[in-house]
Structure 1
Amino acid sequence: MSDPQSFDVARALELARETLCIEASAVTALAERLDERFSRAVTMVLACRGRVVVTGMGKSGHIGRKIAATLASTGTPSLFVHPAEASHGDLGMITTGDVVLAISNSGESEELTAILPLIRRMGVPLIAFTGRPDSTLGRHADVALDTSVSKEACPHNLAPTASTTAQLALGDALAVALLDARGFQADDFARSHPGGALGRKLLTLVSDVMRVGADVPRVEPEATLSDLMREVSAKGLGMTAVVDAADQVLGIFTDGDLRRLIERTGSGDELRRVRASEVMTPHPRTVRPQALAVDAASLMEANRINCVLVVDEAGRLVGALNSNDLMRAKVI
């Protein structure tokens, strides 16, 4: 083992940059090679009534697990089967309605080639990602996609580096083509990621986080300034809605409106005569309860406001929320 004290920083940076350039070149070359065979692979998967069963040994197997996960999370049911375990019973996980995606740079991995005749006998369509389309795997496949690279990023041209990057990139390309063909949308993605931050952003509705009932500040148009200030302070949202007898939103009055009103008038007598309808901001920004909470956050950010009123289809006040409510729900 080399002495850490002799570590060459410049050499490490040089190798790192060279590695990235080699792998980027491999992906670029792969993109230029894509042809109608890729389209055939997409068509085969779209016609599949079952799942995409991904398999591969070693580093290709690790890449295969990630590809299976990406496919599954973007609308294409998928699972990974280890080829060695397939020979000892796991082949039963493959059914006649499936499509098999086999990954091998050499195309000659013994554990993988051993199960190819069985897959063919079942009549299951086979897609191959291989660096050698003329290999055993390539010859058995219905569609063989060439993932060959001119060289590995490893200085000894041995460790799978550029080749696995090419495999992974092609798997992503397949997943993206499939999700587009299926019309897979952001809310579909969120349904398969309910536990994460993305799920919260895409699944949380305004109705899930808004304040309702007595927690929503509101006054009538004839309310005095004292009434306005009392309602703003009591409900802690820094504003109050101004509504008519049917709860139709007429306007909004905020802390900022109060400061500007005092600066403009100054006189206590004038302030006592003020009514809500005279000092409110008419036609305030509103959202519907069924809107996404993240859209409400975008509305507030775009208009530089800290709160928003929630109204139903008829324009009646049904709730309110502010940025703190969205932060507590981890939407922002």
Structure 2
Amino acid sequence: MPHDITRLHHVGHVVGDMAQAMALYQRLGFHVPPPSVPALAHREGAAPEPFGAANTHADLSRSFVELVTPVRPGNTAGLPSDARIVPLQAPPEKLPMLLSRIEATSAQLGGWRDRFEGLHILMFSSPDVEGAADRLAAAGVGHGGVNTVGRPVETPDGVRTEPVRYLEIDGAPEGRIGVVADLDPDFQPTRHLDHPNGAQDLVEAVLCVPDGQLPLVRERYERYLGRPISAEGPVTLVTKADLADLLPGEDPPALPALVACTVAVPDIARVRALLAENGLPVRETGRGEPFVPAEAALGAALIFRET
């Protein structure tokens, strides 16, 4: 029977300064386009002011790494000068609900950022998000139901709206966990996949849990995935006591925490050379894979795996 969750859709790296984060990811060898930030005119005739959250993606073949930061109303500090301001467009009767959702998301991001800069979002990819919603509910996993939002996408024919269908799982202490419908193939030609580090896909998220809680967290994630956790991913669970065996030198500031993610690349030697040229420190995982430690990568270790 096919699984309704097949792989990772994206992880979200919550940062305090978007310009700094983009510069870091460019040094890591990713192509990162200018971020988008919603804006709203608070009175008739006034210029739209940024608010809510700014985000951008390092796009991969079937997934992406998101950079996201909360934005205070009218405050562009920490945003690059080429940030794309997106005025909100909604019928008047729907605007209050839209504003409420954006403000709630911004507050949530601010709370995560204050907890620590790093990975706070983990979304799985599904070819059948409605089926996943039904299975999760039957397994006793609470969620908010399947929602649809539109994401503006630049195409050769102008800006188009990509529908994104997703659900969020209730009560995960490590952050925002959910399921998203597989990326729409009609929009994939617009994605930037020509990364200097050769990154091809997001293949693993590493979740560190307090000692003694591994069985409970494993059972929770097996209910999320609908199958046993395996060495093939997409999630690796590790206790604080065993973290040093996998990621030497890592010491998360809070638990549970998404401490690292892994991207697949075709040429590790190319990655090592690029990281060295850009002055980034590199350690070896317990599996012999190079990684940039969290202390040098805004709170989220980045592992490279040759495939």
TM-score (norm 2): 0.23
More helix by share: 1
Question: Whose Rg is larger?
Answer: 1
Structure with bigger RCO (C-alpha 8 Å, 6+ apart): 2
More strand by share: 2
